[in-house]
Structure 1
Amino acid sequence: MVILADISRILSSSVFRNEAGKILQDEFVSLLKSAAEDKNEFIKNSANIIAQALLYKAQGHLNEKDVMTILRKQKKIAQIEANNAELAVMSRIQKITYRLLDISIDFLVKAL
């Protein structure tokens, strides 16, 4: 997946020099990979939206406010999707998509 490689490259740049940043980077990349390989289209699409928003921020195409708006909107959509999903899918949405969004919103957008 091209986006996964791009995100990995960006995150391994100077943004993440300390150990906490490295742990968060590893978790994010692992979750992004899991989402990209998930059989649920919503989870795959969410991963793509998150990755694209972060890439656009890193490349200077979007500012922090725009990216935060996109990610917060996606989190609301994920919450609705999880509420309407079967238990197994709901669990994966919460475990993968929510966590990707939380890491992105709470840390990555500001760090890029």
Structure 2
Amino acid sequence: MELLLAITIGLLYASGVYMVLRRSMVKLIIGIILIGNGVNFLIFLLGRITKGSTPIISENSDTFLEAYADPVPQALILTAIVISFGLQAFAIVLIKRVYKVLNTDDIDRLSHTEDYDIL
């Protein structure tokens, strides 16, 4: 299972970097989304995949006696998903507005906006 996740992380990173290097703003955002999902999988993998009980210590003992699931990576991933969803929604609206005003999503053409009548 860990090998499959490692291969998936590598594919997400590779495809994300490939998409970021394209000239289209839409492909740039898709690449950032793929890299973000790769980071989430990486955090999940680093937290170790174990089947265990909840991390609650009973009143009779001072330490964990059996395997438990670590909640910290899961909480970090959940927070990252919420933040990235807000960022993606903002970026999509921004790209839509830029395309409506300038009729292009080519990054090279957007750097020379003096040819466009923006107002």
Q: TM-score, normalised by structure 2?
A: 0.37
Q: TM-score, normalised by structure 1?
A: 0.39
Tell me: higher relative CO, structure 1 or 2? Use CA pairs within 8 A at least 6 residues apart.
1
Rg larger in structure: 2
Structure holding more helix per residue: 1
